[in-house]
A and B are shown apart, each in its own frame.
Chain A
């Protein structure tokens, strides 16, 4: 039950504030509003009357403290009436801590330029640390490459199974659907011109060169990139990485290189599967919509699609795999000692690796076009 109230009484230029009942953080909001509407400029003296207050908490003390400060600022005389010991102690306690807070608080207004500068500097530091990570990766790779004993076959095959073999299903379905969709959209246009047979060129070029590698990379980025980050991030939090380092097991040799190598090996194979499934999807639509028989489709495919298109798609695989694995692991190692950081880093790892893959693909396009391939 709300028993608190505040009565405001003017007698000449003396203002009396009579508090009553239980003043707690549940009910002082309305009193606060009343107090804020007071002007406090004509009054000579303010009387705070606590004689009818039965309970008083720290929130009320803070409110009264703020009011007292206002009264002092306006150079008005203050009189506190029959405050019990509890109440005056509480106000005193608040005052003491307020002074302490004031002493330690430094107000620094940041300019937009400073915020912008800090932002860029932080990004620059992240870039530097990523470069340092890459550098460490390459030195560790060179260090271990010649030593057969140092190659972690067991881990590599485990990762190939985990990130490659188990991904075949989802990649097949996705690329089959993409083939279907591309064929379906082009079939309509091609029919208009009676150029039905050109569906083979459209599909062959777009799927082999661009779509299959990209779709595979995006699925793998979402599937393995996030898994790398979350797994390594969790190992960081449980101090497993520290434990490895103190035992002299370099995380690069045990965690990073096997994952990167596994993904680089399996990616071209996955792209090959995506090629087959995409073309199959396209063939289905060609047969249904454009009346191009399977034999005709394959004959035409043999004639017009050069092998180089296939190889261009495949060659992208290891590059995409490298980017996805390295970004995923880098983000995992970047996890700080809290759980929220795993979420943030996993999100960043997926977004950044997809972005990096698309950037890399654009770069390949420019290079291949200029080379006339």
Chain B
């Protein structure tokens, strides 16, 4: 079995607060890996570390075979073109319209003709369920759900192998949230993606996730199928999954 992400003995310290200590996890190719945990337990920090947005204080993180500690500029750039990230609030570039947002990585990293780039953008918009006519809108003109979809289209622009989702369904109404879950499942199958997501949405966790990791007290306290979660005796798990287990 090939691992896409391997985290070993991770340590993170903020000032005098230890966030992670001895944290280990492995993410398999092709799975949807969900991370849950109480607020302040360092879920987002963990994702940021995998994305090289934050330095780690100990241990190793390997993503797609690259060891992130001491990675060279060239390798880091290669790695960054192989993943896509959906931020919580979308993080679309506010000075560019949707088309330009999605086309930007294609323009920067490829020498494709403009016409083909436009076709790619239209295709990506269509798979996330947006119309080509939305492409000329600016991020400030979009609703929350459309922002997430547009941002997902941008994350998919370079056909990544690995997709990071930070609370993909937060701020969406239940119907859009379920649509979004279905979209993620569909994309995983079409594009052979490996998905890493942080979520608080129980329905979404049950519907999409293959492997669930629970992070609490600086460590991963559970790592496995959602259905066996009831075997773990932990206050957070008991409260969070109340009614489901």
Q: Residues on A close to B: CB < 8 A?
A: 235, 238-240, 242-249
Is B88 in the interface zone, CB < 8 Å from A?
yes
B93 and A246 contact, CB distance less than 8 A: no
Report yes or no: A243 in contact with B91, Cβ–Cβ below 8 A: yes
Are the CB atoms of A238 and B94 closer together than 8 Å?
yes
> Judging by beta carbons under 8 Å apart, are B108 and A239 in contact?
no
- Chain B residue contacts of A247, Cβ below 8 A: 80, 85, 104-105
A242–B52 alpha-carbon span in the complex (Å): 10
Q: Are B87 and A242 in contact (CB under 8 A)?
A: yes
Interface string of B163-176 (1 = CB under 8 A from A): 01000000000000
Q: Is B221 an interface position by the 8 A CB rule?
A: no
For residue B239, CB closer than 8 A to chain A, the reply is no
Q: Which residues of B contact A239 (CB under 8 A)?
A: 87-89, 91
Q: A242 with B91: in contact, given A247-B105, A249-B108 (CB under 8 Å)?
A: yes
A248 to B78, CA, bound (A): 8
B67 at the interface (CB under 8 A from A): no
Question: Can you list 7 A-B pairs, Cβ within 8 angstroms, ordered by A?
Answer: A238-B94, A239-B91, A240-B94, A242-B91, A243-B92, A246-B51, A248-B105
Give A248 to B88 CA distance when docked, in angstroms. Answer: 19
B141 close to chain A: CB less than 8 A: no
Q: Complex formed: what's the CA distance from A238 to B108 in Å?
A: 22
Could you tell me the dominant secondary structure of chain B's interface residues? mixed
- The contact of B53 among A238, A246, A249, by CB within 8 Å, is A246
B77 and A240: CB pair below 8 A? no
How many residues does chain B have at the interface if contact means C-beta atoms less than 8 Å apart? 22
Min Cβ gap A61→B in Å is: 28
CB-CB under 8 A from A248, the residues of chain B are 76-77, 80-81, 105, 109
Q: Are B88 and A246 in contact (CB under 8 A)?
A: no
- A240 near B81 with CB under 8 A, answer no
Which A residue's beta carbon lies closest to that of B79? A248
Shortest Cβ gap from A290 to chain B (Å): 51
A244 — nearest CB in chain B belongs to which residue? B93
Residues of chain A contacted by B87 (CB below 8 angstroms): 239, 242-243
Best-surrounded residue of B52, B53, B91 (most CB of chain A within 10 A)? B91
Segment 84-105 of B: residues with Cβ below 8 Å from A: 85, 87-89, 91-94, 104-105
With both beta carbons as reference points, the residue of chain B lying nearest to A143 in the complex is identified as B73
A240 contacts B52, C-beta separation under 8 Å = no
Q: Closest residue to A235 on the B side, CB-wise?
A: B94
Known: A238-B91, A238-B94, A249-B108. A243 touches B80 (CB 8 A): no
Quick check: is B83 within 8 A (CB to CB) of the other chain? yes
**Closest Cβ–Cβ distance, residue A118 to chain B (whole Å):** 13
A124 to B53, CA, bound (A): 24
By Cβ-Cβ distance, the 8 closest A-B pairs, closest first, are A248-B80, A239-B91, A243-B91, A246-B85, A239-B87, A248-B77, A246-B51, A240-B91
Alpha-carbon gap, A370 to B85, bound state (A): 57
Neighbouring B residues of A246 by C-beta, 8 Å: 51-53, 80, 83, 85, 164
Q: Which residues of A contact B53 (CB under 8 A)?
A: 242, 245-246
In the complex, A272 Cα to B94 Cα: how many Å?
A: 35
A243 B93 Cβ-Cβ under 8 A: yes
Give the docked Cα–Cα distance between A23 and B77 (Å): 66
Inter-subunit contact A238/B52 (CB<8 Å): no
Instruction: Kindly name the residue among B81, B108, B109 whose own CB sees the greatest number of chain A CB atoms within 10 A.
Output: B108
A266 vs B93: C-alpha distance when bound (angstroms): 26
Cα-based distance from A239 to B77 in the complex (angstroms) = 19
Report how far A248 CA is from B81 CA in the complex, Å: 7
A243 contacts which chain B residues (CB < 8 A)?
A: 85, 87, 91-93
Chain B residues near A242 (CB-CB < 8 A)? 48, 51, 53, 85, 87, 91
